[in-house]
Amino acid sequence: MTSVGTDVDRVDGPEKTTGRARYSADRVLPDMAYAHVVLSTIGKGRIRAMNTDAAAGAPGVLRVYTPFQPLKLYPPPPGYGETYAVLQDRDIRFRGQVIGLVVARTFEQAREAAALVTTEYDAQQPSTSLAAGSPGVTAPDQGQGAPPAKFAVLAPGVTSIDQALAASEVTVQGTYTQGSQHHVAMEPHATVAVWQDGHLTAYCGAQMPQVHAVSLAAQLGVEADRVRVLSPYVGGAFGSRVATWPDIALASAAALDLDRPVKLVLAREQVFTMVGHRPAVSQTVRLGASADGVLNAVSHKSDVAMPMPTVGSWVMVPAQDTSGALYKTPNLAIDQRVVPLDMPPTWAMRGPNEAPGGFAIETAMDELAVSLRMDPLRLRLRNYATTAAGTGRPWSSKHLRECYETGAERFGWSSRPRSGTVDGQWLVGTGMATAIYPAARFPAAVRVRFRDDGTAVVASATADIGTGAVTLLSICGSDALGIPLSRVEPRLGDSALPPGAPAVGSAGAGSTAPVIRSAAQAAITALIDLAVTHPDSPFYGMTADQVRYHDGYLDAGAGRSMGFARLLKLTGTAGVEATANGGPGPEAGQYAFHSFGAHFCEVRGNRFTGEPRVSRFTTVVDIGTVVNAQATRSQIVGSVIFGIGHALLEVDPLEDSGRLAAGNLGDYLVPVNADIPDIDVHWLDIPDTVYSPFGARGVGELATVGSAAAIGNAIHDATGIRVRDLPITLDKLL
């Protein structure tokens, strides 16, 4: 009996719901000091002077660090975060940059003293307008087999995308915009740093514990093997805990300097500027089609705000895995650009490219359907792709058509209310959109260890950022070893474990599951080897192929069977283990890999107040093998909720001063329960054995792609108003 594909309660659920789970900030160590950061209050310029006397003299204060009395820090390695090291110069690159660190005996004393630091600046006018900087410059090369940021695939004889568009019977064009957004993970960013014998242990949230350790070592200027990152529980990440932001290195450097453990918990407002966010983006999509809805040309241009090179960031490329792959078209042009501004760092967030990109192409497809007077679902089926337009590759496994059909059936698409149906004070409309998300596979190592108490450890330095990864280790370990879930001890969130898959790009589960199976096989081989070679084993002297492993037992037939715990005890062996590595093979260069889905939703727009309410939502996805049905459902529901936030609520305007105007949870709105209807979720459960022998692709971010477009399309259907600037707030519907 395997539990793969069934509803499995989180193995860490009881710890989390009873408060026994210790998150980073829950660590309390003897003699621990508390740190608080001081942030810049101008958007660009230079510090002339700082007065720290009052802070240094305040009760409980141990030290005040500033650019004038710095901690020595180095920038993270290229690509691991920002490009500069905090406190090493007096330049102000953005508003909300770290300019000081106060360490005191208590949190309250540190925070109080930090407020006493005064700073004089030579201020300059920051550049903050995406519109003023557009069109930007072509985004840098993404590397690692990614397509170039700008490319075109044109039919023979066609010389430009403009020519292809001009030759089309019907064209639509739309410019789709959205402002800055933030991850707002529930757990604020927090670090507890402690040094012992020249070795650092940092408790901090990490999507990639080993990468955090490497980056932290570089920032501190010590060897990587002297840094261990522990991140067993993470209260949400969504991209915000990929890079190592300056707080972790600051706490670690202060702990070294003061020779005592240091805890640094960012205040909620500080998270908004110290941790990279999703920048504003403007996208223009142009579609050309025949009068009966066959696409002839797809053009997708994007201008993405990004910080100056002196800050560094992750670069958004919203078109390549959306318009670049979604539909069959003889002419395709992708042009992804960036506009450098004086703004806080940016990073990947919740379908980082695909959620904005999906909003643009899936709204444009709806606009095309409207102008063709065609059912938007029929338009998508008419342009169904069997190879990815950008690369020409066939998919490893694609069952999007079944997603459309099943979703339409479950939602009742064919009997949906007419556009603009009036129901009391509400206008009712429906919309649909496609979800697509790249199915990356990362190299991963997993260790499986049989122990003499009858349990087995499944260990990998991946992370559980709230996704259920630790439960996945249990489920897959139990499945591969044929023992109950309760006899599997999962371990992750520790940089000292075998290098696991990063919990990014919705690829942690898909990358880890097949390697758990390989590691279990290798551990079984090692166990059988012990059984036939140890003189105290009842299987001693047999050949390995005479002994079979099943369900926790070694079995040589004729009643000669023994549980592995007994064998280990008889032979005086504490444990037998093996580590396996796995990752993408030659298939990686031959196929396109994506997960797919179809969204259908109903929205009600208030006729008098404009207020939009999502009233029904159905999402059907094609994600390969499902490991944990319960966690899969939760993830899809969660990512549709992200889509509702994206569509209706989330935005943080960047003011002319360089201030992010809604940098707090009072002004930055995220959906609450009252905003969310019942969400009907279904998956096809068709294994993708080209992607991996296990067949499970990623789930997490998929359903956040296209969901905002489905909502906007339904709002248009209800009200006749096409809103191309997110979020769709009621003022835009009056």
Catalytic residues: 701
Among 44, 93, 189, 350, which residue interacts with ligand MOS (rule: CB under 6 A)?
A: 350
Nearer to ligand MOS, 80 or 238 (CB): 238
Among 466, 500, 505, 624, which residue interacts with ligand MOS (rule: CB under 6 A)?
A: 505
Nearer to ligand MOS, 136 or 356 (CB): 356
Nearer to ligand MOS, 112 or 354 (CB): 354
Query: How is residue 628 written in tokens?
Result: 């944990």
Q: Give the x/- contact pattern for ligand MOS in 178-207, rule: CB under 6 A.
A: -----------------------------x
CA distance 248 to 73: 11
Residue 407 within binding range of ligand MOS, rule CB under 6 A: no
Residue 249's H or E segment, with its range, is: helix 246-258
Closest CA to 523 of 511, 531, 535: 531
Place of tokens 């199915």: 439
- Binders in 641-660 for ligand MOS, by CB under 6 A: none
Question: Measured at CB, which residue is nearest to ligand MOS?
Answer: 239
Residue 504 within binding range of ligand MOS, rule CB under 6 A: yes
Q: Residue 341 pairs with which residues in a beta bridge?
A: 307
Q: Give the x/- contact pattern for ligand MOS in 113-152, rule: CB under 6 A.
A: ----------------------------------------
CA distance 627 to 514: 11
CB of 604 to ligand MOS, least distance (A): 31
Interior angle at CA 503, CA 502 and CA 504, nearest 5? 90
Nearer to ligand MOS, 191 or 240 (CB): 240
Interior angle at CA 439, CA 435 and CA 443, nearest 5? 160
CB of 639 to ligand MOS, least distance (A): 11
Question: Do the beta carbons of residue 509 and residue 702 sit within 8 Å?
Answer: no
Termini Cα distance of the chain: 57
CA distance 139 to 151: 12
CB of 508 to ligand MOS, least distance (A): 9
Which residues lie below 8 Å from residue 28, measured CB to CB, with a gap of 6+?
Answer: none
Applying CB under 6 A, which part among 116-124, 343-351, 584-592, 634-642 lies near ligand MOS?
A: 343-351
Nearer to ligand MOS, 193 or 463 (CB): 463
CB of 438 to ligand MOS, least distance (A): 10
What does the DSSP assignment read for 626-688? -SBHHHHHHHHHHHHHHHHHHHHT--B-B-TTS-BTT-STTTS----GGG---EEEEE-----
Nearer to ligand MOS, 342 or 354 (CB): 354
CA distance 563 to 553: 4
Q: Give the x/- contact pattern for ligand MOS in 57-76, rule: CB under 6 A.
A: --------------------
- Binders in 33-52 for ligand MOS, by CB under 6 A: none
Interior angle at CA 472, CA 502 and CA 400, nearest 5? 80
Q: Residue 600 pairs with which residues in a beta bridge?
A: 432, 618
CB of 504 to ligand MOS, least distance (A): 4
Burial of 394 (0-12, 13-18, 19+ CB in 10 A): middle
Question: Do the beta carbons of residue 64 and residue 301 sit within 8 Å?
Answer: no
Give the single-character DSSP code of 702.
Answer: G
Applying CB under 6 A, which part among 190-198, 348-356, 547-555, 596-604 lies near ligand MOS?
A: 348-356
Backbone angles phi, psi at 520, to 5 degrees: -65, -40
What does the DSSP assignment read for 402-449? HHHHHHHHHHTGGGPPPTTEEETTEEEEEEEEEEEEE-----EEEEEE
CB of 509 to ligand MOS, least distance (A): 13
Alpha helices in 127-228 (DSSP H): 130-133, 161-166, 209-220
Q: Distances in Å between the alpha carbon of 715 and those of 178, 285, 373?
A: 17, 20, 17
Q: What is the four-CA torsion angle of 114, 190, 219, 463, rounded to 10 degrees? A: -170
Residue 501 within binding range of ligand MOS, rule CB under 6 A: no
Applying CB under 6 A, which part among 342-350, 384-392, 451-459, 621-629 lies near ligand MOS?
A: 342-350
CB of 236 to ligand MOS, least distance (A): 11
Nearer to ligand MOS, 242 or 621 (CB): 242
Q: How many residues does the chain have?
A: 734
Applying CB under 6 A, which part among 198-206, 344-352, 558-566, 660-668 lies near ligand MOS?
A: 344-352
CB of 584 to ligand MOS, least distance (A): 17
- Tally: H helices and E strands in the chain: 16, 29
CB of 679 to ligand MOS, least distance (A): 21
Nearer to ligand MOS, 238 or 668 (CB): 238
Nearer to ligand MOS, 238 or 683 (CB): 238
Computed over its alpha carbons, how large is the radius of gyration of the chain?
27
Backbone angles phi, psi at 368, to 5 degrees: -65, -45
Applying CB under 6 A, which part among 15-23, 159-167, 346-354, 531-539 lies near ligand MOS?
A: 346-354
CB of 539 to ligand MOS, least distance (A): 47
Applying CB under 6 A, which part among 237-245, 322-330, 388-396, 712-720 lies near ligand MOS?
A: 237-245
Q: Give the x/- contact pattern for ligand MOS in 295-334, rule: CB under 6 A.
A: ----------------------------------------
Nearer to ligand MOS, 194 or 208 (CB): 208
CB of 501 to ligand MOS, least distance (A): 12
Residue 239 within binding range of ligand MOS, rule CB under 6 A: yes
CB of 700 to ligand MOS, least distance (A): 8
- How far from the centroid of its chain's Cα atoms is residue 311's Cα? 21
Closest CA to 628 of 12, 10, 4: 4
Nearer to ligand MOS, 352 or 477 (CB): 352
CB of 505 to ligand MOS, least distance (A): 4
Closest CA to 86 of 278, 273, 260: 273
How many residues sit close enough to ligand MOS to count as binding (CB under 6 A)? Answer: 10
Question: Do the beta carbons of residue 517 and residue 480 sit within 8 Å?
Answer: yes
Give the SS3 label for residue 581: strand
Applying CB under 6 A, which part among 70-78, 127-135, 234-242, 608-616 lies near ligand MOS?
A: 234-242
CA distance 468 to 470: 6
Nearer to ligand MOS, 207 or 462 (CB): 207
Q: Give the x/- contact pattern for ligand MOS in 202-221, rule: CB under 6 A.
A: -----x--------------
Nearer to ligand MOS, 333 or 435 (CB): 435
Residue 349 within binding range of ligand MOS, rule CB under 6 A: yes
Binding footprint of ligand MOS on the chain (CB under 6 A): 207, 238-239, 242, 348-350, 352, 504-505
